[in-house]
């Protein structure tokens, strides 16, 4: 009986069989011809890597066990001991922890570049600087980086640009097309999209860098499991539909919050008052993403009340799932920044991050209305 599954089955196997020495030899002659060991390659993780590579229009990439593993792999693709990294000051808390606590031990040093200085890097660049790491849309204040300008500025000094494209997704923005050298995702977020997978992906513009990423994945064991890969591929098939609804819902919620008397500020690139609104519209093809943040009074008890009262926005320190959620940057993603860094970035007691899901938006707004009352 021949089996012709319509979709790729889950190859839940750690290893693949060889008939004889001849087969083993032919594998080593052309490793692309078959599979040997799932840490080195598996049909499910390759399917995910290829799908994200296609979406990002890159030369090649890898699927990783998490978004953090993706960031690690991207940095190692260009850096070794003694090198220096520039990192946008507005960055995912885990990225700065990786740089501060771990890569520093490998003698890879970091300098943080304030958002307003991103396009004039002269004073930050050293002879050992190799890369700049930035996000298309930053966490948690939704600042939008001009990737074309940033890539030009990086390349002027021979630096590679690594873009964490998690918040935007490739539906809004394809960093490689704008000049970035590597783009990466926490697949945990929009790409998988259902809050049931932890995964990452890294995609390079240059085929040689893609080969290097594959080696890094194998040697450090950053590989993603078959089951997680399969779930992420299933999620990815609806990415373009989900993103549209996430964006519509986020826009409606941002407009609602913007006119609410208890809300002091709303951070959403879709609002005309957002400082990078015009850039966001151009770079995001008229879509502004599903993430927003807002400020209420700087009182922990007020934040507690809102979290307890809301029914449709569970407090869950992640984002980008089909179900809406709230998060609290000061207590979670940006907890380990110094108080000065928190202050400089505007991460205060009253700052709440909202991930708009794809539920009926009037239900979401009604829930926020009663929770804020
Ligand atoms: C969540 C997140 C990460 C880390 O991804 P994990 O899958 O949790 O390891 C990196 N960057 C951004 C922007 C994120 O939101």
Q: Is 92 in the pocket of ligand 1 (CB under 6 A)?
A: yes
CATH number for the 239-372 domain, one of 3.40.920.10, 3.90.1150.10, 3.30.460.20, 3.10.129.10? 3.90.1150.10
pLDDT given for residue 220 in this prediction? 98
Q: Given this model, what pLDDT does residue 365 score?
A: 98
107 upstream amide cis, omega within 30 of 0: no
* pLDDT tens digit at each of 373 positions of the chain: 899 999 999 999 999 999 999 999 999 999 889 999 999 999 999 999 999 999 999 999 999 999 999 999 999 999 999 999 999 999 998 999 999 999 999 999 999 999 999 999 999 999 999 999 999 999 889 999 999 999 999 999 999 999 999 999 999 999 999 999 999 999 999 999 999 999 999 999 999 999 999 999 999 999 999 999 999 999 999 999 999 999 999 999 999 999 999 999 999 999 999 999 999 999 999 999 999 999 999 999 999 999 999 999 999 888 999 999 999 999 888 888 788 888 888 899 999 999 999 999 999 999 999 999 9
**Alpha carbons 136 and 282: distance in angstroms, whole number:** 13
* CB distance 164 to ligand 1 below 6 Å: yes
Q: What is the pTM of this model?
A: 0.96
What is the C-alpha end-to-end distance of the chain, expressed in Å? 64
Does residue 146 contact residue 283 with C-beta atoms inside 8 Å?
yes
Residue in 52, 168, 189, 317 to alter for ligand 1 test, most ligand atoms within 8 A of Cβ: 189
How many angstroms is it from 320 CA to the middle of ligand 1? 11
What per-residue confidence (pLDDT) applies to 67?
A: 98
- Please give the pLDDT value at position 338: 82
Query: Contact at 8 Å (CB) between 299 and 331?
Result: no
Nearest-CA neighbor of 169 among 242, 224, 98, 64?
242
Give the start-to-end residue ranges of the domains of the chain: 21-236, 239-372
pLDDT for the residue numbered 336: 80
Residue with token string 């190799």: 130
Q: Residue 142: what pLDDT?
A: 96
DSSP string, 178-228: GT-SEEEEETTTTTT-SS----EEEEESSHHHHHHHHHHHHHHT-BPPHHH
Q: Is the CB of 183 under 6 A from ligand 1?
A: no
Could you tell me if the CB of 186 is within 6 A of ligand 1? Answer: yes
- The pLDDT value given to residue 31: 86
Instruction: Judge whether 90 counts as a catalytic residue.
Output: no
Report pLDDT for 339: 87
The 10 Å Cβ neighbour count of residue 145 is: 26
Q: Using the atom order of ligand 1, give the atom closest to the CA of residue 69.
A: 9
Strand residue runs (E) in 23-150? 60-64, 84-88, 109-113, 129-135
Domain 21-236 in this protein, CATH class: alpha beta
Residue 310 is predicted with a pLDDT of 95
């Amino acid at each position: 009986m021949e089996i012709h599954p319509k979709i790729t089955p889950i190859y839940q196997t750690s290893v693949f069989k060889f008939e004889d020495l001849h087969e083993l030899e032919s594998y080593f002659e052309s490793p692309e011809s078959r599979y040997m060991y799932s840490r080195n390659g598996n049909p499910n993780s390759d399917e995910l890597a290829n799908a994200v590579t296609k979406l990002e229009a890159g030369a090649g990439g890898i699927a990783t066990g998490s978004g953090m593993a993706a960031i690690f792999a991207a940095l190692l693709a260009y850096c070794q001991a003694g090198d220096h990294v520039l990192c946008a000051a507005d960055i995912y808390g885990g990225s700065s922890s990786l740089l501060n606590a771990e890569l520093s031990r490998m003698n890879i040093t970091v300098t943080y570049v304030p958002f307003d200085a991103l396009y004039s890097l002269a004073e930050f660049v050293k002879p050992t600087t190799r890369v700049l790491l930035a996000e298309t849309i930053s966490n948690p204040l939704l600042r939008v980086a001009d990737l074309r300008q940033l890539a030009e500025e990086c390349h002027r000094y021979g630096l590679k640009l690594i873009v964490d494209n998690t918040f935007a997704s490739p539906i809004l923005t394809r960093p490689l097309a704008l000049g970035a050298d590597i783009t990466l995702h926490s697949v945990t977020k929009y790409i998988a999209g259902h809050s049931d997978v932890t995964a990452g992906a890294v995609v390079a513009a240059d085929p040689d860098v893609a080969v290097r990423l594959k080696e890094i994945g194998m040697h450090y064991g950053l590989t993603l499991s078959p089951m997680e890969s399969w779930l992420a591929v299933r999620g990815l098939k609806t990415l373009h539909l989900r993103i549209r609804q996430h964006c519509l819902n986020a826009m409606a919620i941002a407009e609602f919050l913007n006119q609410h008397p208890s809300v002091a500020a709303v951070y959403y690139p879709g609002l005309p008052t957002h400082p990078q609104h015009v850039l966001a519209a151009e770079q995001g093809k008229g879509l502004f993403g599903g993430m927003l943040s807002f400020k209420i009074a700087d009182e922990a008890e007020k934040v507690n009340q809102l979290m307890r009262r809301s029914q449709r926005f569970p407090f869950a320190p992640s984002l980008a799932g089909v179900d809406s959620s709230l998060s609290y940057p000061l207590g979670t993603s940006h907890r380990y920044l110094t108080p000065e860094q928190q202050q400089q970035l505007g991460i205060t007691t009253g700052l709440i991050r909202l991930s708009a899901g794809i539920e009926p938006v009037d239900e979401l707004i009604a829930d926020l209305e009663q929770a804020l009352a």
